[in-house]
A = this chain, B = another copy of it.
Amino acid sequence: MSPTHTEVTTGAADLDPCGRADHPDCGIRDVLDRVGDKWSVLVVVELASGPRRFRQLQRAIDGISQRMLTLTVRRLERDGLVLRTVYPTVPAQVDYRLTETGTSLTHLVKALADWSLAHRDIIAQARRAYDNGHPDHEIR
């Protein structure tokens, strides 16, 4: 019981990821709604190495279906992250490449990958510890 806990504000906005000290849902939801899905980031990663054609992408991204690749790449195109170019050859030939905006995203993705690799062991260890301490508890 600590009724005098005061407000937690304490002017401690130094670590606030948002620009504001209060809690607007920032633009974070936007990014996540855009590339937080199952495949978008992987497409961006693949395209970061250079332009790719449809089948190339599908082969490179393990487990993706044509349907999901189509949807994913269409959404990225719509948001202006990917440029889609159709060559009127026969059979049809299409290539995808990152736009300037899309390329700017790759730096973030790299940072994410770096973070993941840097903490994967610690996280795995934390999981084992948790699961060990909560034998019967099912969380996932």
CA distance in complex: A75, B15 (Å):
22
A-side binding surface: helix, strand, loop or mixed?
helix
User: Which residues of A from 56 to 82 have beta carbons under 8 Å from B?
Assistant: 56, 60-62, 71, 74-75, 77-81
CA distance in complex: A71, B137 (Å):
12
Interface residues on A, range: 35 or more
Q: Is the CB of A28 within 8 A of B111?
A: no
User: Which residues of A from 8 to 63 have beta carbons under 8 Å from B?
Assistant: 8-10, 12-13, 15-19, 21, 23, 25-32, 34, 36, 38, 41-42, 44-46, 48-52, 56, 60-62
Closest B residue to A110 using CB positions: B17
Q: Is the CB of A17 within 8 A of B113?
A: yes
Q: Is the CB of A45 within 8 A of B23?
A: yes
| Residue interface bits A98-140, CB-to-B below 8 A is 1, else 0 | 1011011111111111011101101101110111000000011
Q: Which residues of B contact A45 (CB under 8 A)?
A: 16-18, 23, 26, 28
Closest B residue to A34 using CB positions: B123
Q: Is the CB of A139 within 8 A of B25?
A: no
Q: Is A4 positioned at the interface, with any CB of B under 8 Å from its CB? A: no
A34 CB, min distance to chain B CBs, angstroms: 8
